[in-house]
A and B are shown apart, each in its own frame.
Chain A
Amino acid sequence: MTKKTNSMPYTITEKILLRHTKLKTIHPGEFINAKVDICLGNDITAPFAIEEFEKLNLRDVFDKKKIVLVPDHFAPAKDMKSANQCKILANFAKKHGIKNYFEVGRMGIEHVLLPEMGLVVPGDAVIGADSHTCTYGALGAFSAGVGSTDLAAAYATGECWFKVPESIKFIFSGRLNKWVGGKDLILHTIGDIGVDGALYKAMEFCGPVIEILPMDDRLAMCNMAIEAGGKSGIIAPDKITKKFVKEALTFGKKHGVGQNRRGRFYLSDPGAKYSKVYEYDVRKIEPVVACPNLPSNVRPVKQLKGISINQAVIGSCTNGRISDLRLAARILRGKKVNSAVRLIVIPGTQAVYLQAVREGLAKIFVEAGGVFSTPTCGPCLGGHVGILAEGERAISTTNRNFIGRMGHVKSEVYLSNPAVAAASAIKGRIAHPEEVL
């Protein structure tokens, strides 16, 4: 590794942040300005950033290759105002020659799209004006959600201010039970430590379970670090990361993204300091559901079987990847969605969409009586494509179940993995996958 990281034991997070400054050492609690490799904005957050950036009257952005714009929240535009927000992004991209603007038809949910296109590589420092930017920690990158003003500042300077976070280590050991995935591991963790259990901290996930956990599950785990108040989630990059990134870079090049970066693989030093260490025996973890109105309100599926649902949503930046859809299709194959339920399946990106069509997954969802939508964040934040009416209840593979999150203030959201959501769609109530197979 580099000279400056040899002096004292550091966590991965500290090493990456140090590498992005001119400093010789780094300490948790210290305020730093760090260079960023990617700064991301969407149709909700980028318009404010663009407005602020333009007030500076600068001719150019700091580096047009490092800016990514994805209209995904209310896109394809749900109304005229949303269309205007998307237009602001398109115009800004055109004006500054920003190639990584992903128009409807080429876009996807940002946190599914960027890893898929190879836009984030291990060792990167990434900011995004979206709280779920913490997703990219799964690739061994430091990645944190920020606000629109931070994004505007980064457009101008290429830097962002940070308070160097302390790290918390989460060690997962044992063998995963059937139907338990990354989503259940992170929900279990949030249920244990609470929605502010990792406030301002970097959540480092490790242990034998994580070492063999597929990338899609790792992404789902890091995605929800913010739901525990975390600044970032991170997983040490390994063979699984290397293979994923190599394929993503090739895929990105094919789609004109053309990143020539392989990344830097940082590992936490043996003597690195953690503010806390949690150990979980995953043999004790069953498929779980987060009940309204906090992601920490976690209970085993088996305790919730009496709860009827009106809607099941499968998708989002947490669970909108191909393995999620495969899992849901495995449950739904040859089955029918309950007559009282609306099933809405939303692939994360165009590539996931196409793959789901090729593998016959889309056919399974439609034949079961479900909707197979174009990629969008849509219902997750109560945007469009499946808003709940007063008194309605949804099970969803998304990441938040706050009051009114998916629609009316008197509607409810239960969070689960894709297999549980699919089984529940069939049963018309919260159900364990074993009940339908």
Chain B
Amino acid sequence: MHKGKVHKFGDDVNTDEIIPARYLNTTDRGELASHCMEDADPRFAKKVKPGDIMVAGKNFGCGSSREHAPIAIKAAGVSCVIAESFARIFSRNSINIGLPIIESPEASERIKNGDIVSVDTVKGSIKNITRKEKYAFEKYPPFMRKIIKAGGLMEKIKRR
């Protein structure tokens, strides 16, 4: 269960906006978090609070394979990302590091910036507390659920 304030973004948000390449010369998670979304919204890293939720349009995370992107979002305190659709590598990176991502065209369209939203990943439902609305989403397939349940891909491998 995740609950937080929504930060809304548009379509095709790319990994250069999420974490610009000029900050890729480090693996320091705190430093990456401090530049999260810098080229889309320079104030984002300062205003984001632990538990907040990002909502975006289609093809979120397109572009490079940099895992720095979901790492920066997770390290900035974002509890989950909801979008109409996700770019492929961003999607697998998020699952591999345990950042919950949720595909819901309905939620992506209805939720507005600043709304308070709660997400139940077990039941597959999103509650918009501000607008008193509910949106359903498809739960992860069992294969992905195993990775998420283990706490990420490396944890799953450790157990092997």
Contacts and interface: CB of A to CB of B under 8 A. Distances in A.
Interface residues of B, number: 41
Given A48-B67, A84-B25, A294-B12, 9 more contacts: A31-B144, A45-B65, A48-B68, A48-B71, A55-B154, A133-B65, A147-B67, A199-B87, A400-B63
Contact of B67 (A55, A149, A382): A149
Q: How large is the interface on A (under 10, 10 to 19, 20 to 34, 35 or more residues)?
A: 35 or more
B39 interface: yes
15 contacts: A48-B71, A56-B158, A85-B27, A131-B64, A146-B89, A147-B65, A147-B89, A149-B96, A195-B59, A199-B87, A229-B88, A294-B12, A382-B21, A382-B22, A402-B14
A75 to B, nearest CB: 11
A152 interface: yes
A218 interface: no
Nearest to A80: B25
A228 B79 CA distance: 28
Contacts of A84: 25
A231 B88 contact: yes
Contacts of A78: 25
B13 to A, nearest CB: 10
Contacts of B21: 44, 73, 381-383, 405
Interface of B: 12, 14, 16-17, 20-22, 24-27, 39-40, 58-59, 62-68, 71, 85, 87-89, 92-93, 96-97, 141, 143-144, 147, 152-154, 157-158, 160
A82 interface: yes
A408 B24 CA distance: 16
A133 B89 CA distance: 11
Interface of A: 31, 44-45, 47-48, 51-52, 55-56, 73-74, 78-79, 81-82, 84-85, 128-131, 133, 145-150, 152-153, 156-157, 161, 195-196, 199-200, 226, 229, 231, 294, 381-383, 400, 402-405, 409
A51 B27 contact: yes
